[in-house]
Structure 1
Amino acid sequence: FAAVILAAAPTMILYFFLTNKLLDGAKQGGYLA
């Protein structure tokens, strides 16, 4: 189970990072309040 967490961690971090970048871009573009 721990091995699965360790294997998935980089993917989840990357996904979280990309999501934050998209949200920041949307806010700066005026798409989100």
Structure 2
Amino acid sequence: MDRRLARKNIRSALIATAVCVFMFGASFLAAAIYIS
């Protein structure tokens, strides 16, 4: 397996995970504001 390709895949996976966590946090925050 090409090391450069693996590094690119890891970085894109980290970015995707960060986006998912951010979206989950934003929806949780919106729900908390909506409830209060």
TM-score (norm 2): 0.66
Higher helix share: 2
**In 2, Cα distance between equivalents of 1:14 and 1:7:** 11
Percent of residue pairs bearing the same amino acid type: 7
Structure 2: where are the runs of 5+ without partners? 29-36
Larger Rg: 2
Structure 1: where are the runs of 5+ without partners? none
Of 16, 22, 34, the match for 1:19: 16
Taking only aligned residues, the RMSD between alpha carbons, in angstroms, comes to 1.7
State the one-letter code of the partner of 1:16.
A
- Highest RCO, 1 vs 2 (Cα 8 Å, sep ≥ 6): 1
CA offsets per residue over residues 1-33 of structure 1, 9 Å max, x none? Answer: x3xx322000000000000000000000008xx
Give every structure 1 segment of 4 or more consecutive aligned residues whose post-TM-superposition deviation is greater than 6 Å: none
